[in-house]
């Protein structure tokens, strides 16, 4: 089981991730709103600005304060 550090001592299992999207787009905001209404939203930002939405196999949306590029580098195993 490989894990992905999504910031501030929060982790997600890599094999559960479907996509990581930038939080600034209108579609991402809509996804976030719908997830909050249906109880599928997990806020892992620790009060900081949301920079990425992590979509999972279970249709949960995890909010991260780490940007998409950094998360991508962490998945690939590069420093950053």
DSSP string over 14-74: GGGEEEEEETTSHHHHHHHHHHHHHT-EEE-STTSPP-EEEEETTS-EEEESS-HHHHHHH
How many residues are present in the chain? 80
* Separation of CA 60 from chain center: 10
Enter the pTM of the model: 0.93
pLDDT in tens, 10-30: 999 999 999 999 999 999 999
Q: Determine the structural domain holding residue 14 and report its residue range.
A: 3-76
pLDDT in tens, 19-66: 999 999 999 999 999 999 999 999 999 999 999 999 999 999 999 999
Residue 54 · residue 62 · CB < 8 Å: yes
Domain count, the chain: 1
Confidence (pLDDT) at 77: 87
């Amino acid at each position: 089981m490989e894990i992905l550090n999504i910031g501030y001592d929060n982790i997600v299992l890599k094999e559960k991730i479907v996509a990581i999207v930038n939080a600034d787009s209108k579609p991402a905001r809509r996804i976030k709103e719908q997830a909050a209404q249906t109880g599928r939203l997990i806020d892992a930002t620790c009060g900081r600005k949301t920079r990425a939405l992590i979509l999972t196999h279970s249709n949960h949306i995890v909010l991260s304060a780490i940007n998409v590029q950094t998360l991508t580098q962490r998945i690939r195993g590069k420093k950053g």
